Structure 1
Amino acid sequence: MEKLIVAVLSRKRPPAVAGYIVSFGLVLAVLGLEQLFTPALHRYLPFLLVVFFASIIFGRPIGLFTTLFSALLGDGVIGLVLHRRSPAADEVLFFVLFVAVGAATAVVIDALRSAVCKLLDAEAETSLLLDELAHRTRNDLMMIASVLGLQAMRQSDPHARQALESAVARVRVIAEAQERLRKSGKHGEVEVASYLRALGHGLAELLRDVRPIRVRVLATPMFVDAPVAVSIGLIANELVTNAFKYAFPDGQGGTVQITLQPSAEGVVLSVEDDGVGVPPAKKDGLGTRLVQLLTSHLGGTVQSMPRERGHGVRVLLPVKPVVPPASATE
């Protein structure tokens, strides 16, 4: 109902000539109904509906015209003039009240229309500014990622190069979230399935080198708040990076699968590989600690998933996504 009222108030007004003609016809129609159903319909009450309709569709001038025209035709005013009879006190009272209420209705509706139009204009301007901000932020972040990537290529130390590549991946995660936020059309929300697919493709290009490693993304389309989307992207980035680092040594190939599904508790993010698994003596590095920190910040849990081959991690995040009627896509 709220959307309908906003749509009616914000729509372009029909030509004034059409408003006068329609209002004139409606007043005459109500007058005819009064003659047929007297005394069930009497006084000025039915004409208020015409005044309201004329005001909301055609604007204040047509609403005021309808008010005056209805006041002159309604309740036997013309009969009083023709018969030269003085109106009774209650007839004068009803006449004055009707004109006052009708005029107030036209003025209030016109003011409401003006306020709605200003709010819609402000919303459109805010949307444009947010879109521009997201675009500039994304470009700045991609520039930072490019500079870090160039620095990584020049590094002879493998540890320094790996650290810079990890930084590049994390910056790209945030940049991609900004881009998805800009394209979503929903301020503050990101469609996280397509976001993860873009991240998976970018990570595969960045990390696999010449190794035949495939990154699959199986995700149910859903919208989440932008900060949550960034956290999901960073978690997926760290888990996929760990899989590339440990699951496929010596140029081995395989598949890393990212799965995102809604659940009764929130959202479940899983990253699985079919490589050699995690080394038993592996210590928690920066990426693992980052996953735990981001998950804890959202009130979630991290759980390792035993597999016959490879390794898997399941992250449960207690957030409420908005899931459109669509199936999981890859």
Structure 2
Amino acid sequence: MMHQTQKTSVPDDDRVIAFLHIGKTSGSTISVNIRRGCHDCCMQSCSGRIDGWTPNETIASQRIQSYYHREFIPHDKLNQITTIVTAVRNPITRFISAFAYEHPLNSRATKLTHRRHVWEQFSCFPKISHLVKAAMGRAEIRWNKAHMNALREQAKQVNTVQFGKRYSRPKSIQEVVQPINCTELARMAFGLNETSMDIKQSVVNGSHPFVNHMTFDYRQYYQSMPPAKELFVLRQESLWKDWEHVNFLLGKDNPKYQNWPAVPPFQRVERNVSHQYASQERWKLQDVQEQHWLCHLLRDEIRTYLMIIIRAVNLNGDDLSNAVSDVDRICSGSGSVE
């Protein structure tokens, strides 16, 4: 799965640039600051923003020609693209944020409308701790509660006596509703025992139980970043600094942008969904042991995250060291997950 990590540079005159939005990395903030901030996947015209203009126009906004989110860039489009701009975040905090964002108990904050199957899946995981423990084979909730309740309702129905006659049970309760094993479900949430192709196919046909920001992780998006593509990376932890630097790099070799004004302030999307309307403890790991477990479960994700940073033409060795230190701070237990 892993590609080489060599940096790739493209002559400025040849650049065809796309923004690849990885969920829960400040991609929504970036999208409202680029002129072509609409999804190519949704059959919308990307010749301009839906509202006609972005007020904080920058060189990056002028030059980014397409925008992809929660999808795989089609091969015909990928062949035309030379340069990808994307955003990243510490994989541990990104995963926890994705869990909080998708969780039905946080729907008042996210404004998401959840279908019944989402409630059923997350009934295994009232808290992030339940998910981590289940994936490690230490599930506190062994079977999906919503399905168990459905089983009980089925049992009541088949044992009901109406008009003096007891209805026979045509098939076993287990054949009517199959409960979900929470351990198996948790391992699917982390993409364990599945190849990238398995996940991709199940996402495309809608059979994957977690078609959301947990499933669409760095490993999935990295398929749209082959070695021949130039890569600019914005880190959520230093988003404004990186945004300014990327704009500078996209303008310095092009006479058209030599006299471009300074990068204006971000037009922000404020959506701190993990701390609204629900207990903050629900989205926090309980102890150092759980931090170690989560780091173990995300080990391939962490590796891919670091490879993305290594390949970024706008980042250097110090930036990589800082990213490694930030991950180690959590995984060693010397720092909490914020």
TM-score, normalised with respect to structure 1: 0.23
**Per residue, is there more strand in 1 or in 2?**
1
**Per residue, is there more helix in 1 or in 2?**
1
TM-score, normalised with respect to structure 2: 0.23
| Higher RCO (CA-CA < 8 Å; seq separation 6+) | 2
